[in-house]
Each structure stands twice: as C-alpha cells, then as structure tokens.
Amino acid sequence: MKSTYLYTTAVFAACFLAPAAAQTNLSAQSPVAGTEIVVTGTRASQPIQVDQYGSAITVLDTEALEQRQTRAISDVLRDVPGVAVSRIAGQTQVRLRGSEANQVLVLVDGIEVSDPYSGEFDFGTLVADEAARVEIIRGQQSAIYGSDAIGGVIQYVTLTGREAPGYSARVEGGSFGTLNAAARAAGVSGDVDYAFSGTINTTDGTSNARAGGRDLSNDTGAASFKGTWTPSANARIVAVGRYSRTVAEFNDTDNDPTSPSFGLIVDSPGTRLRNEALYGLVRGEVDLLDRRWSHALTAQVADTTRDGFNAAGRSYGNVGTRLKGSYETSLRLGDAAVSHVLTGAADVERERFRNTDPAGFAFTGARRNDNLGLVGQYELGLGDYASFGASVRYDDNERFDDTTTYRVQGSYRFDSGTRLRAAAGSGVKNPGFYELFGYNDGRFIGNEDLQPEKSEGWEVGLEQAFGDRAVVLGVTYFESELKDEIFTDYPAPDFIATPANSDATSKRRGVEAYANAQLGQAWRIDAAYTYLRAREAGLEEVRRPSHIASLAVNWQAPGDRLSLTGVARYNGETDDLAYTDPSYVPVRARLDDYVLVNLNADFRLTDSVSLFGRVENLFDQDYEDVFSFTNPGIAAFAGLRAKL
C-alpha cells in the first residue's frame, strides 16, 4: 500500500510540477496568495485583509472551487491546513486543529447553521453553489463569536449580485446514477443587487458496509437568496434566505452480540434520514461622521428538523431553533499611516430544542437556553506593514456559569516580503441538548450537571512572499489545551453510556505549512501539509490523523480555452472507536492512511458554454474515515456549464 502512495505522488509530480517549474513569469498577482479580504474573524464593519492579520486564515476562492469542480464543500476543505474530514452518510464532520466537530463554528452568509439540537453542522448537507467562496480562520475565536469557536470558524459565502453579476447554470451526470445541477441569476438594478441560486445533487450511491450490497441513495438540494438595498451612500439593508433539504439512506450497526458482524456497519433496508433547515438573516447598516462611525443591527434565525426512519416507519426525530439578534458599532480614527478601530458588540441568543421521538422513549418536552454576549475589540493598523488587535467577550448564560474569553493577534511584514504573525486566545463550548438531556432509550442518559468545555491556545507563523506575492510560502506552529472535555462514560454496574466532563487535559500541538503560487497566466499551485499531535490521558484523540496533505495544480491553455486540474489528498493513519465488545464499551481501532487523486478538465466550446469532466478517486482507493464505514471507489462525471 505504501508503494502505491509513493507511485501516485511520483506520477502526479512528474505530470504537473515539471512543466510548472519551467514557467518563470512571477509578475502576476496571485488570487490565492493572501491579498484577499475576508469578513470572518472580526466584529468591525471593516473586513480583514488576510496578509495583515495575526491568525491563520485560508480562503478557497470561487476560482479554486470551479477548477477543482467542487460539489461537496467537505471535499475541498481537505485542501486547508489543519482540517480533518470524516465523511459518512448522515453526519459528515469537520475538525480544526484537533478540535471536535462541534467545537467548530460554521457560518453560511453570516448565519450560524449548526443544528441547535446536536450542536454541530452536518457538512454532508452543503453542496457548492455557483459563485461562492469559503473562509477558514483557525484558532480560538470565542472572543468574537462566543460558544462553538474553539477550533476556529468556517464561513461559506455566496457572492452578491454586485460581486458576480450574470446568469449561470451547470448540469452533470456520472457514476452511481449521479445527477448534479446548479443555477444562478444575479445582478444590479438601481439601488438593489440580488442573487438567486439553487443546487441539487442526487445519486443512487454505493454501499458503505464492508460486506454490504445495499446502495445508499442521497438527494440533497438547496435554494438561496441574497440581496442588498443601498438607499444612500451611507446606508444598506442586507437580506439572506436559505432552505436546504437532504434525504439520505444509511446503514446501522449490527447490535446482535451473537453475530460475527457485531459492532460493524451492515445492510439495513429501510433506514434513512430527512434533514430540513431554513435559515434567514436581515441586517441594517448605517455610517455616520463621514463613514467613520458605523452601526449595524442584525436578526437571524436557524430552524432545523431531523427525522430518522427504519423499515417500520419514523423511528426518531428532533427539532431545533436558534434566534439571534446583534448590535455592532465601530469607530475608526486616524489615517492610512496609523489607524485605530474601536468596536463594541452585543449578541442576544435563544436556542430551543426538543425530541420528537414517536416511540415514547425520549422526553419530548421543549427546552431552551438564553445567552447574552458582550464584545469589545480594538485594532491598530500601521500602514500596510503591521497590525495588532485584541478582543474580549463576556457571556451571561442562563444555564451555565458566565465566561470571559479573549483573543490577541499581531502581524508585521518586512520590505523583504517576510511576514511574522502571532495570535493567542481562549475558547468555550457549551454542552449540547443531546448531551444534557440524552435520549432515554436505556443506552444513553443525559447529564444536566455538565459544564462548558474551555480551551486556550496560541500560534506563531512565518510567511515569505516572492515576485509581488505571485508565490507565497508559510508555516505555522500552534499549541492548545482543552479542559473539561465532554466524553462518554460507562459507569459500573450497568455500564449505560452517559456524558461527563473529563478531569484530564487534552493537549494539541502541530505544524501547518502551505505554498500558493500563480506562475504567469498558466499555472496555479496550492499545497498544504499538517502535522498534528492530539493527546488526552496519554491516548491519541480519535479521527485526528497525525499527517494530512494536499496538492492542487491547475493549468490554463493560452486563451483560457482549456483548463486541466489535478488534486491529490493524503489522509494519514488515525485511531477510531469500535463498539465491537458486547458491553458496548468501545475499543480502539486503527484506520489505514490513503491518497485520493482527482483529475479534472474543462473545455470552452463557445464564449459562454463549456464542457467539463472529472475522475474522482483515480486509483480506486479502499478507505474509511470512520471505523467500518466504507467510501466510494473510482468514479467519473461529465457535464455542461453555461455563463451569460
């Protein structure tokens, strides 16, 4: 198996890197080299410039998503330093820097989209739209956003009608009976810009059981709207709406202790889930004092419904709603040489949740939790060379002890193109409804005495730019500690699972490295590598590979008529928990490493119509992200795209 990986790497390098190295024009401005601005990671109205900020930020721009023919956002996140992906039907998880999946805050166009019931977001429900981008900021961000942001923040952003006007559509088909389609209409009309988009992905699927033969179908779709009304130069109203729906079959674990496949995933006819979510946001902004003093009021809602079915009918369900209102104000002082930004923010949030279990095992009454968060933030800018900032947040929670979190960051760039940056901060994650109140079917009992998980960490980074940022190399070292981590305990004598706060400290440290290059107009190269050491009580934390790497290379023919892209993604060996003991107390299993290689091509037939195709998992790797859950083999897809 190791020789296969070496062969893959060698072939990939020979095909793409040799011609790339021959390209010597470094004068182009790289679209991926850190010159972007992002809206994630600050409460000020002024966005962050990536190459002037102390925290590690990665942007997957629209061009990257298109070149890599991204359909599932979770797939392209494998190309980001510090990110580990665990993909299974019904709950695709993403971890940042060794955090748990529910310790990563996920935003879609500024809306918190985690399920209020489970406390985390299922990335399997997020299919890429036309004209979108992803912003990832790593490290503790609770001083900005409150609970959930221990590992960092991932924000999926659809572009506005002003940023990307026009009409576009794509449709493709391929292996496993897959059909994927997307459409977008966007533009500007007077004081209003608008963008409507829709996506759908349907597939007959493959089996995810080692010895299974049941193909798992999946139908996922979303429709969204984003609009801005600008009645004057200093006032704006933004509205966002999004509806998503997933119906997916899945397989259960064999729970028969007498069976040789006990604890393994087996074919389970009739089992499926339905996940529906409705998200909305309205934001009003006004600028005063010659646009130096900004004010913003935001209201948002996330409403989720999740139902599970077996051969007999609906077997479980839950609903959750998050209502959130925010006020933000920023005062900008100084000039381009020395600037000061003072920001204050207040968040009022209510979460409601309940089980809708039809069998009567679970408590089905409604529960709620209220939280008030107050944020203070200061940012100092020294021209284009340096920036420093600090944030502090106080959270008054109805159910848990009040918490105070902080974050400090700084960045300094020398004339040589070398940039030094550093950041430190603290984070908090409140227990979820499921952990607090459980699902009382005799196998999992909730614990209302749980306390929030708390984290502190720091990072230091070095970045070097060449050729007017046509090539950028960077490396980051980070450390963090997590206390009061919530784990599943199995106390004697009944050994019934129940959550508890751990007395041990979970320690994470590692190195993230990246290289981004735009070599002339022809070649774009993005590479990333992560080393992670995550331990608790001397044991490796599960589903957190020690080594993760990716390489994406794109070549554009003269005239941009033909585009070829190759992507290789390596996931190292990792531990997972296996429930193969009849006591239901888990044992450890080791998952093999693997390499996934995709090859993509796009040929422009006319100025507005393109023919594209790709091969995924080129070497037909047999791999598992989660114990006993297998994944699809080699697959091919082809389609058409039109842009007007």
Tell me, what's the pLDDT at 436? 85
Mean pLDDT confidence for 129-145: 96
Residue pair 218/203 in contact (Cβ under 8 Å)? The answer is yes
**Residue 483, strand partner residues:** 454
Instruction: Note the pLDDT of residue 412.
Output: 97
Predicted confidence (pLDDT) per residue in 538-589, tens digit: 899 999 999 999 999 999 999 889 999 999 999 999 999 999 988 778 899 9
246 half-sphere exposure, CB direction, 13 A CA radius: 25
Residues 149, 141: Cα–Cα separation, whole Å: 5
Q: Does position 187 have pLDDT exceeding 80, yes or no?
A: yes
DSSP assignment of 338-405 equals: SEEEEEEEEEEEEEEEEE--TTS-S--S-EEEEEEEEEEEEEEEETTTEEEEEEEEEEEESSS--EEE
Torsion of CA 286, 411, 134, 601, to 10 degrees: 130
The answer to whether 536 and 99 have CB atoms below 8 angstroms apart is no
Burial of 179 (0-12, 13-18, 19+ CB in 10 A): middle
The pLDDT, as a whole number, for residue 338 is: 96
pLDDT at 35: 61
**What percent of the chain has a predicted confidence (pLDDT) above 70?**
93
Segment 91-108 shows an average pLDDT of 95
- The predicted model gives 26-35 an average pLDDT of 38
SS3 of 460-522: the string is: EEEEEEECCCCEEEEEEEEEEEEECCEEEECCCCCCCEEEEECCCCEEEEEEEEEEEEEECCC
Identity of the amino acid at 546: S
Q: Can you tell me the distance from the alpha carbon of 624 to that of 591, in angstroms, rounded to the nearest whole number?
A: 7
Nearest partner of 604 among 549, 558, 555, 563, judged by Cα? 563
Assess whether pLDDT exceeds 50 at residue 11.
no
Q: What is the pTM of this model?
A: 0.92
pLDDT value at position 79? 97
Question: Would you state the pLDDT for residue 375?
Answer: 98
What pLDDT score was predicted for residue 15?
36
pLDDT on residue 496: 76
**Which of 558, 516, 550 lies closest to 530, judged by CA?**
550
pLDDT at 279 over 70: yes
Average pLDDT, the chain: 91
Mean pLDDT to the nearest integer, 602-623? 97
Cα–Cα distance for residue pair 193/42, rounded to 1 Å: 24
Q: Write the pLDDT tens digit of every residue in 195-219.
A: 999 999 999 999 999 998 999 999 9
| CA atoms of 593 and 596, how far apart (whole Å) | 10
How big is the CA angle at 598 (ends 607 and 64), to the nearest 5 degrees? 50
- Mean predicted confidence (pLDDT) in 58-77: 96
> Which of helix, strand or coil describes residue 640?
strand
Reduce the DSSP state of residue 294 to 3 states and report it: strand
Which band of pLDDT confidence, cut at 50, 70 and 90, is reported for residue 14? very low
Least confident of 141-145, 362-366, 372-376, 455-459: 362-366
Q: What is the pLDDT of residue 46?
A: 84
Start-to-end CA span in the chain (Å): 47
Q: pLDDT tens, 423-433?
A: 999 999 999 88
DSSP-based three-state secondary structure for 50: helix
What pLDDT is stored for residue 448 in this prediction? 86
CATH architecture of 2-163+336-643: Beta Barrel (2.40)
